[in-house]
Amino acid sequence: MLFTRNDFGEDFKWGVSTAAYQIEGGHNADGKGPSIWDSFTGKKKKIFNNDNGNIACDYYKHYAEDIALIYKLNIPNHRFSISWSRILPNGIGAVNHKGIDFYNRVIDFCLELGIEPWITLYHWDLPEALQQKGGWVNREVIHWFSYFVDCCIKYFGDRVKYWMVLNEPMVFTGAGYFLGVHAPGKKGLSSFLAAAHHAAICQAEGGRIIKSLRGECKVGTTFSYSHIEPYRYNNEKDVKAAAKVDALINRMFIEPLLGLGYPTADLKILDRIERFMHPNDEKKLAFEMDFIGLQNYTREFVSYAPLMPFVKAKIIKASKRNVEHTLMDWEVYPPSIYNALKRLHNYKEIKEIIITENGAAFNDSFEEYRVEDFKRVRFLQDYIAQVLLAKREGVKVNGYFVWTLMDNFEWAEGYYPKFGLVSVDFKTQKRTVKNSGSWYSCFLKNALAASKECRNEESEKIIL
């Protein structure tokens, strides 16, 4: 399939996404307080190679160079997040004006270059001072988060038109409060359900606050969303296991936000979230967002696994299925974004879908002054082609942001997986635009792109 940017229409938003802890560094600069990721990465054996984000891409110092690079790459929209403890070192109370000044400089420079800033309020870096009080498990977090949102809108809402409340609540509550593999490293069903319920309330509360203070802003929130299939279609137990995993990783936060409540019919264990619900919470969980941020990378196959607690299901990794996959062991399967879009489109309550993350980590080969990342170029072209297929079928998708601008700190995997359109030499902080960055730049200047149309009857299967 051949296509150009024009095929998506004039008002389609093209962009690139980043996140504060993954790129900024300056972990204790100018009055910034510690976040849970500063604490978590300080513990041994939590992060591959014991890496941390103390310096990362040093965006705190190099922000102007990096925003100029976004401009040079013809990218009109830049999604980034606010480090909560950089502007509120203790999470609540006194504001750190040097932190406010930093984000003012970032926002103003974007606007000066004609780049639209899209801000994610929470991209996983809770202030450590709040974790000391229980963090997301403490229902007080609703008050703390509301205070943070209010502060961001007060200082930045006059110039920033696009806001996302949370980044992937399923991941930060699941990995951080159930599995313990992300900050703050808590484990267990009870801490997960408490954190999840409070995060679900905060995603709606954040929307209410933004709209009440700056009604003209566009507000959304983002979700990780994978195309889920049963490992054996003809095996009833696998089909049921896939439906449970789909309810957990795809529906658990979207459906309460849409006023549909938690998907307890398909995931009985969610009945236990009742313990953390107060009167009127069902209502507090819902809010009509202007857009939903879809973050899709791959497809997952699920099989019945009787020994797995709570869901009795397990994901069959791509490397075990002998399919093309990325360094994250995520299958390269472009129709996954088509399927995710079609499924989200089926929720009539969703007004608009923006793909706020899509990208891939490969072992980029670094030649002298250039990075030949052809696999990433093909990945982007093939996934973007699937977005076009969905759009042509009437799906309400109106934006696509690449994850990510530059190689950065990939959470528990440290700096090993490289997702960037731009490579970073972390010894010298030198940036080198990869083939994929050059391709995206040309595409955004309306060059032709090509993709093998990889839709087949498989991709028609949508697990409802």
Positions in the binding site for ligand GCO (CB under 6 A): 19, 22, 167-168, 171, 224, 295, 357, 403, 410, 419
End-to-end alpha carbon distance in the chain: 28
The answer to whether 110 and 78 have CB atoms below 8 angstroms apart is yes
Please state the closest distance from residue 357 (CB atom) to ligand GCO, in A. Answer: 5
Which CB sits closer to ligand GCO, 171 or 316? 171
| 138-156 core/surface letters (b: 16 or more CB in 10 A; e: else) | beebbebbbebbbbbbebb
Which CB sits closer to ligand GCO, 66 or 357? 357
Structure tokens at 192: 């997960």
Structure tokens at 385: 């082609």
Considering only CA atoms, which of 184, 196, 244, 159 is closest in space to residue 46? 184
- Vertex 222: Cα angle to 97 and 15 (nearest 5): 75
Which CB sits closer to ligand GCO, 31 or 414? 414
Give the 3-state secondary structure of residue 141. helix
- Find the catalytic residue in 128, 168, 255, 300: 168
Which CB sits closer to ligand GCO, 51 or 410? 410
Integer-rounded Cα Rg, in Å, for the chain is 21
Which CB sits closer to ligand GCO, 96 or 167? 167
Q: Is 216 a catalytic residue?
A: no
Which CB sits closer to ligand GCO, 266 or 329? 329
Residue that the structure tokens 């160079």 belong to: 65
Which CB sits closer to ligand GCO, 123 or 391? 123
Q: What distance in Å separates the CA atoms of residue 406 and residue 432, rounded to the nearest whole number?
A: 9
Q: Fill in the DSSP letter of residue 326.
A: -
Q: Is 413 a catalytic residue?
A: no
Please state the closest distance from residue 427 (CB atom) to ligand GCO, in A. Answer: 22
Structure tokens at 137: 């498990």
Please state the closest distance from residue 230 (CB atom) to ligand GCO, in A. Answer: 24
Q: What distance in Å separates the CA atoms of residue 432 and residue 444, rounded to the nearest whole number?
A: 19
Phi and psi torsions of 142, nearest 5°: -65, -40
Which CB sits closer to ligand GCO, 156 or 172? 172
- Find the catalytic residue in 24, 255, 300, 357: 357
Q: What distance in Å separates the CA atoms of residue 281 and residue 186, rounded to the nearest whole number?
A: 24
Please state the closest distance from residue 295 (CB atom) to ligand GCO, in A. Answer: 5
- DSSP per-residue codes, 4-73: -GGGG-TT-EEEEE--HHHH---TTGGGPPPBHHHHHHTSTTSSGGG--SSSTT-HHHHHHHHHHHHHHT
Give the 3-state secondary structure of residue 228. strand
Please state the closest distance from residue 168 (CB atom) to ligand GCO, in A. Answer: 5
Q: Fill in the DSSP letter of residue 272.
A: G
* H-helix or E-strand spanning residue 379: helix 374-392
Which CB sits closer to ligand GCO, 19 or 395? 19
Please state the closest distance from residue 339 (CB atom) to ligand GCO, in A. Answer: 18
Q: Fill in the DSSP letter of residue 90.
A: T
Residue 109 CB neighbour total at 10 angstroms: 17
Determine whether 389 is exposed, middle or buried from the number of CB atoms within 10 Å of its CB (0-12, 13-18, 19+): buried
Please state the closest distance from residue 257 (CB atom) to ligand GCO, in A. Answer: 18
**What residues are labeled active site?**
168, 357
